[in-house]
Structure 1
Amino acid sequence: MIKDMDGVGITLAIGALKALAFVYDVLTFPVYVMLQRPWRARSLSRRVKAKPITKDTTSITYRSTTEPGPVHVTLVKEKIDTMAKMFEYVSRKYPNKRFLGTREIIAEEDEVQPNGRVFKKYNLGAYRWKTFSEVNALAENFGRGIRELGNDPGENVAIFAETRAEWMIAAHGLFKQSIPLVTIYATLGDDAIAHGLNETEVTTVITSYELMPKFKKILAMVPTVKTLIYMEDQLKTLDEGGYKSGIEVIKFSEVLKKGATSRIVDVPPKADDVAIIMYTSGSTGIPKGVMLKHKNLIATLKAFCDSTDIYETDVMIGFLPLAHVYELLVESVCALTGVPIGYSSALTMIDAASKIKKGTKGDATVLHPTCMTSVPLILDRISKNVQEKVSKSGTAKKVLFKFAYDYKVSWMRRGYSTPLIDRVVFGPIRGILGGSMRLILSGGAPLSPETHEQMNACLCATVIQGYGLTESTSCATVQDFYDKVYGRVGAPTTVCDIKLVNWEEGHYRVTDKPYPRGEVILGGDNISAGYYKLADKTDEDFMEADGRRWFRTGDIGEVHTDGVVKIIDRKKDLVKLQAGEYVSLGKVEAQLKTCPLIDNICVYGDSTKQFCVALVVANQQQLKDLAIKKGIGDLSFEDLCQSPDVERVVIAELNEHGKKSKLEKFEIPAAVKLVTEVWSPDMGLVTAAFKLKRKDIQERYKHEINRMYAS
């Protein structure tokens, strides 16, 4: 975590801290042993979590050893097999408990910065809550209101909006009326949005005040769309003029009013009905619509409740896109277990967020959430932010932080918690997310072991990594709460078997030692019905065998002796260089992203060349500090990115970091191009889950890639 901790004084200081810690440990060890009983955690960590059920020389299938939990059993006992039945059940069980919370916006005010620039900031109030029974009633009204507008059961309706309470209300309203929900990321480009809407032939789109101007441009590309329902803004009123003729623009609240007086008879769905057509974020090619049935969603709810300890006393902060199956299912687990969800965004989550007025509190400080979802990129940013702040602090603070971090990690690995260190040293870091966070669920992409351990230590929370795809309703594996081996994604869940199949081209076989390796194929009730209007692609990626449905992921995994899966490669990321060496681009990127200098990186390999190259989004402050340290000068970030001298320094840093990460010499990029843009979903270069869109990145920077190889 901390570099450059040399000097006699520092050595003496750390020695003194170690001596004090030794005395403290001797005096308090018996108390900690009795209170924390670490042998239980160690035993649970070591237990076998999945076992082979079939095995031969070409494939091996694993099944979870975990028994279904109480929520899973209840869903089976109560015959809950659709999302509509699920929400009726929780509304009866928790009628008066708060469920969906939205922060009140009191005003939007101008805030003058020291440099004279003026930024718009929110003056925010408290969270306003709706109970389970209130949300259920609103969902019923919305579903009937949609029917009153002419949308029949079975006819697709799209939601194109940011994560917020109205999103969930609308979704459950559609579920109740057997209307398939088409989900489209709010960050997709116009062409991708139009593709999804045209392919599904929707006539009604549910969007938000903020996205309505975007739709003015898109309407010309989507001839079937006739109705726009928009979620109102708390402060501003929409100018409903200027839209294409024949388009009906209607407020969300008006749909609720129509439904409240409707006499339409509800048409509840069946388990085999399509609940969602979820458009993937398209890391390769155009987005595909994945058809998820009600039974797929319920299967994942059973699995997540079996593998994740979420309690009625928890509070979740929701901010990832609900158009992502992972966020939607985790929030549905919260609904199923009576957990309130307070909505937020990156613009308002923490006290230092860009839309928070100086002197007011961010959403996390007000909400005090205990659990949240995240993606690795966000956790990487938090980790680097912590490192940056520590590196700029005084020597005494650096010494204390380094000692405390090493001390905590050593005890964590033995199954102990360190409450005193947590309060004194890590309390301020934990306070960034409200001070009560205990569980962070990470998905969407691989989480590096280094970031995983740092976040566990610094946030004083348990970070759990999972693995799944839209095609498997986000469900495949979930890391065990007590598992302290980082870099793994957990064992198969209770509803999903995992099969490893030999991939001869990549030299991965189930007979490999010490662990079987191969392509990961998932099978169970969580597997999608296939791709919407793409029969050939569905037949290519999905299959029926052994009485269940299976999906070929294209990911390469190995399974350890305790039944836990580690994703080690991806078929599409494998590049063969001119000399015959295979390079896993994703693996190299995951290792190099742990370098403090790197905010994001895309490695490219040309099979006609002998080396790889990389496009690098550098951390601005780290790059400036490095340039000054190397005597290049105090230049602007843009000038640094254009400097050949800086490129050479960055290559040297990557070489050093790559060797520490045990990368082979041919895996480390031999040339780099520093880019000034921060890759975001809005640019179309990363997905909503922040996975790289390789083809788009390579197309955008093809001249830079050619220049790197020419050099």
Structure 2
Amino acid sequence: MSDTQTLIENRPPSVAALFLERVAATPDAEAYRYPVPAPSGQGPDDWKSLSWAEAADRVHAIAAGLIELGVQPEQRVALASSTRIEWILVDLGIMCAGAATTTVYPQTNADESAYILSDSESRVLIAENAAQLAKAREKRAELPDLTHVVVVDTDGADLSEDWVLSLAELEQRGAAYLEENPELIKKKVAAITSTQLATLIYTSGTTGRPKGVRLPHDNWSYMAKAIAATGLCTADDVQYLWLPLAHVFGKVLTSGQIELGHVTAVDGRVEKIIDNLPVVQPTYMAAVPRIFEKVYNGVAAKARAGGGAKYKIFQWAAEVAREYAKVTQDNFRRTGTASAPFGLTAKHKVADTLVYAKIREAFGGRLRACISGSAALAPDIGYFFSGAGIHILEGYGLTESSAASLVNPGDAYRTGTVGKPLPGTEVRIADDGEVLLRGPGIMESYHGLPEKTAEVLEPDGWFHTGDIGELSPDGYLRITDRKKDLIKTSGGKYIAPAEVEGQFKAVCPYVSNILVHGADRNFCTALIALDEPSILGWAEQNGLGGKKYADVVASPEVQKLVQGYVDQLNEGLQRWQTIKKFRVLPRDLDIEHGELTPSLKLKRPVVERTFKPLIDEMYAGTREA
């Protein structure tokens, strides 16, 4: 048996057990860093640290506090909060109590929050602040199972009712309970079985109510060991964690860190990413493609603002980066060495001094790799960053597979693919092109929905992902589209909209979101949303300064600008894929309007419904209109 197999097969029954092992092994090592904002936003944040032993003190107190409130094994404790240090401590506390975490995005409205709390039969809600408490208060009559709300940040929160208490009070009560029962946590963790429910994550469905995905303790224990077995991370790493922890992609990163014991800097404020990177100086970071697109667009916009010469240098450097990345990746695949011809290497060295070094510095200067997941990264953007020395390793997984099913292997990564299966996970392609997965990371079931479970989970363990993909002879997977998102034109041609959308994002530095439409039509159209800071910067330089975003994007100048990029896109497409008409949207797509999921994936049916008049307008006068 190989070391990898031994590592995975000898896994403990739970991450709670892994956590106790980690604390015993390296009690004084730094575990977490987190910011304490300066008063009234004056000056930089003050970053504090917790050692593993200090983290354990808080985790155990939270666990004991929940037990003292009457929470039993496998009972649900809901967690409605943005990503912050308390999220991790509470989640570990819930697991160490033998209970199960139900995750709720803080942006979720009161109705959907109440549905999740009710469907999961959550007994306790850990609410981040007064706003999350208010939602529970508003819907309390609909939540007979909910006995307590615990508030993390009590600023402005009314704690006068006996069913509401602060996290500080819960920890105090838990610490007192532990004094009387010092072996409590050890016993609770020892009693956890691998099949016991650990996490209930509700998928943000594009239609209808979200489904609760039941993930037992063994899913996370396997993920922790499998991530360590890839060798992508080490005990010396510093991870910058800002992803929503309510999402499975964020959550899986906490399991891997416990196994490896490296430092994680936690701050979920997306607007602080650019400020935090030079402070945290991470060695690795996970992100969704939208973040890399924003960085790329920002760099391009800054170069353009610097004048024609600077922009020409940037465009040249971007092409050199892409060419260098393609050549070195291809050579590594064939020979095991990431080499490039002398002339290209010389050009790359000049471009590195002029452009790439500054980009790496903006990421903190120590970034070894980024993990990208949740949606497809446009290959041209991936190649740009690869050539600039920011290595983006795309991975793949779903909520139903505990997030990480495949990931690109370190030096052997291939842009445009999602890599190879994690040790212990199997992948195959069905006759219709659908990607099927099997392994210890696959969910137990959808909560209370046996028929829905049977639709996607075969009796022999194969899970139907709903994604279409291709496997290379040496096991690299490329996702081409969502099965249900494939467009069939009235002419009978199939089109993968995500592929066309990804190409446009690489061509147009001003795009924020794009939706390609064309099912049962005789040509394709697109709805295009522009990135506000980028397009307003362009407007300043092109005689439209001072105008509002909606006025800028509706202007003939912007229509002409976007048309140029659409023409450029169409040059590289098959005739039936080309975008014949487009509309620039009056605002960007967002989570608040339900057009994006919290992990910034496009909800196609919602966007098409919201902007139906614009779609109809584009097809007016054609045969199918």
> What TM-score comes out, normalization by structure 1 length?
0.78
Structure 2 counterpart of 1:497: 426
Give the Cα separation in 2 of the matches to 1:637 and 1:166. Answer: 37
Take 1:329 and 1:186, find their aligned partners in 2: how far apart are those partners?
A: 19
User: Is the contact between residue 159 and residue 166 of structure 2 (CA under 8 Å) also seen in structure 1?
Assistant: no
C-alpha contact 1:651 1:671 (8 A) present in aligned 2 = no
Matching of residue 292 in structure 1 with residue 205 in structure 2:
no
Aligned 8 A contact 2:128 2:153 in 1: yes
Q: Which residue in 2 is equivalent to 1:140?
A: 60
- Which of residues 459, 462, 468 in structure 1 aligns to 2:391? 462
Q: Which residue of 2 aligns with 1:278?
A: 201
Q: Quote the Cα distance in structure 2 between the aligned partners of 1:625 and 1:123.
A: 27
Residue 525 of structure 1 deviates from its aligned partner by: 1.2
Are residues 626 and 255 of structure 1, via their aligned partners in 2, closer, same or farther at CA, if it must alter by over 3 Å?
Answer: closer
SS in 1 for 2:462: strand
When residues 626 and 256 of structure 1 are mapped into structure 2, their CA distance, relative to the original with a 3 A threshold, is closer
Report the CA distance shift for 1:673/1:428 in structure 2 as closer, same or farther (over 3 A): same
Match of 1:238 among 157, 161, 165: 157
Higher RCO (Cα < 8 Å, 6 or more apart): 1
In structure 2, the CA distance between the partners of 1:141 and 1:468, relative to structure 1 (3 Å rule), is same
Measured at CA, do residues 622 and 173 of structure 1 come closer, stay the same or move farther in structure 2, by a change above 3 Å? closer
The answer as to 2:113 corresponding to 1:203 is no
Q: Deviations over 1:500-532 (max 9, x none)?
A: 1111xxxxxxxxxxxxxx211101111111100
Query: 2:335 aligns to what?
Result: none
Other-structure match for 2:332:
none
Once the two structures are superposed, residues 266-302 of structure 1 have per-residue CA deviations (whole angstroms, 9 ceiling, x without a partner) of 4331001111011112244421110001111122222
Q: Structure 1: which amino acid aligns with 2:584?
A: L
User: Where do 1:346-361 residues align within 5 Å?
Assistant: 346-347=269-270, 349-350=272-273
Asked if residue 672 in structure 1 is aligned to residue 585 in structure 2, the reply is no
- Assess, with a 3 A threshold, how the Cα gap between structure 1 residues 394 and 558 changes in structure 2: closer, same or farther: same
Residue 223 of structure 1, CA deviation: 4.5
Q: Secondary structure of 2:87's match?
A: helix
Give CA deviations for 1:524-564 in whole Å, capped at 9, x if unaligned: 1111111001110001110122xxx2210111111112211
Q: CA deviation at 1:421?
A: 6.2
SS of residue in 2 equivalent to 1:349 = helix
What is the DSSP-based 3-state SS (H/G/I as helix, E as strand, rest coil) of the residue aligned with 2:412?
coil
Identity %: 27
Counterparts in 2 of 1:683 and 1:216: CA distance versus 1, 3 Å: farther
Work out the number of aligned pairs and report it.
Answer: 594
Looking at structure 1, the residues matched to 562 and 403 of structure 2 have their Cα atoms a distance apart, in angstroms, of 37
Cα 1:248–1:423 change in 2 (3 A) is: farther
Which residue is equivalent to 1:441? 371
> Out of 33, 36, 40, which is 1:104 matched to?
36
| Deviation of 1:394 (Å) | 4.0
2:437 aligned with 1:522: yes
Distance 1:348 1:652, change over 3 A: closer
Which aligned pairs between 1:527-606 and structure 2 lie closer than 5 A? 527-545=442-460, 549-594=461-506, 595-606=508-519
Question: Cα offset for 1:642?
Answer: 3.6
Deviation, 1:673, is 2.5
Instruction: Indicate how the Cα distance of structure 1 residues 694 and 346 shifts in structure 2: closer, same or farther if over 3 A, else same.
Output: same
1:481 to 2:413 alignment = no
Alignment check: 8 A CA contact 1:228 1:247 kept: no
Q: Distance in 1 between matches of 2:23 and 2:514?
A: 46
Counterpart of 1:95 in structure 2 is 27
Cα shift readout 1:143-174 (whole Å, capped 9, x = no counterpart): 11011112222211111111111111111111
Which sits farther off after the overlay, 280-289 or 382-391?
280-289
Deviations 1:609-658 (A, max 9, x none): 31232221123466568889999999643124345785466345313213
Residues 370-404 of structure 1, C-alpha deviations (whole Å, 9 max, x = no match): 11110001111111111111122245544554555
Once residues 400 and 237 of structure 2 are traced to their aligned partners in structure 1, the CA distance between those partners, rounded to angstroms, is 29
Q: Report the Cα distance in structure 1 between the residues aligned to 2:560 and 2:307, rounded to whole angstroms.
A: 30
Give the one of 240, 244, 260 matched to 1:337: 260
Per-residue CA deviations over 1:73-108 (Å, capped at 9, x if unaligned) read 44644x512111110111111110111222122301
What is the alpha-carbon distance in structure 1 between the residues aligned to residue 60 and residue 537 of structure 2?
57
- Say what the alpha-carbon RMSD is for the aligned residues: 2.8
Do 2:197 and 2:214's aligned partners in 1 also have CA atoms closer than 8 Å?
yes
Distance 1:596 1:627, change over 3 A: same
Structure 1 residues 623, 363: closer, same or farther in 2, change over 3 A?
Answer: closer
Correspondence 1:684 to 2:599: no
CA contact (8 A) 2:379 2:502 kept: no
Distance in 2 between the 1:406 and 1:645 partners?
27
Letter in 1 for 2:453: T
Over 3 Å counting, the alpha-carbon distance change for 1:238 and 1:438 in structure 2 is: same
Does the Cα contact within 8 Å between 1:531 and 1:537 map onto a contact in 2?
A: yes
Q: Secondary structure at the match of 1:602?
A: strand
Alignment of 1:110-149 (within 5 A): 121-149=41-69
Using the alignment, how far apart are the partners of 2:261 and 2:352 within structure 1? 29
Question: Residues 617, 96 of structure 1: CA spacing in aligned structure 2 closer, same or farther, 3 A cutoff?
Answer: same
- Cα distance change, pair 642–366 in 1 and its aligned pair in 2 (3 A): closer
Question: Amino acid of the residue matched to residue 304 of structure 2?
Answer: S
Q: Distance in 2 between matches of 1:620 and 1:127?
A: 31
Cα deviations across residues 330-379 of structure 1 (Å, max 9, x unaligned)? 2221221111111123455345xxxxxxxxxx322222221111000111
Residues 117-165 of structure 1 deviation map (CA, whole Å, 9 limit, x = unaligned): xxxx353343111111121221111111011112222211111111111
Which structure 2 residues correspond to residues 177-196 of structure 1 after superposition, within 5 A?
177-196=97-116
- 2: distance between equivalents of 1:137 and 1:679? 42
How far apart are the structure 1 equivalents of 2:294 and 2:550? Answer: 21
- The 3-state SS of whatever aligns with 1:275 is strand
For residue 147 of structure 2, the aligned residue among 213, 221, 226 is 226
After TM superposition, the structure 1 = structure 2 runs for residues 37-436 of structure 1, keeping only pairs within 5 Å, are: 68-69=3-4, 73-74=6-7, 76-77=9-10, 79-108=11-40, 121-209=41-129, 211-219=132-140, 221-232=142-153, 236=155, 238-240=157-159, 248-262=163-177, 263=180, 265-266=184-185, 267-268=188-189, 269-347=192-270, 349-350=272-273, 362-395=275-308, 397-398=310-311, 400-401=313-314, 404-405=317-318, 412=325, 413-414=327-328, 415=338, 422=352, 425-436=355-366
Partner SS, residue 270 of structure 1: coil
Cα distance in structure 2, aligned partners of 1:254 and 1:628: 52
Of residues 509, 514, 531 in structure 2, which corresponds to 1:619? 531
Is residue 84–residue 268 contact of structure 2 (8 Å, CA) maintained in 1? Answer: no
Letter in 1 for 2:149: L
Cα separation, 2, equivalents of 1:626 and 1:257: 55
Whole-Å separation in 2 of the counterparts to 1:388 and 1:667:
28
CA distance in 1, matches of 2:319, 2:116: 49
- 2:333 equivalent in structure 1: none
Quote the Cα distance in structure 1 between the aligned partners of 2:289 and 2:377: 5
- Distance in 1 (alpha carbons) for counterparts of 2:208 and 2:579: 25
Q: Which runs of 5+ in 1 are unaligned?
A: 1-65, 109-120, 352-361, 504-517
Choose between structure 1 and 2: higher helix proportion: 2
TM-score w.r.t. the length of structure 2 is 0.88
Secondary structure of the residue aligned to 1:299 is helix
Q: Which is further off, 374-383 or 199-208? A: 199-208
Greater Cα radius of gyration, structure 1 or 2: 1
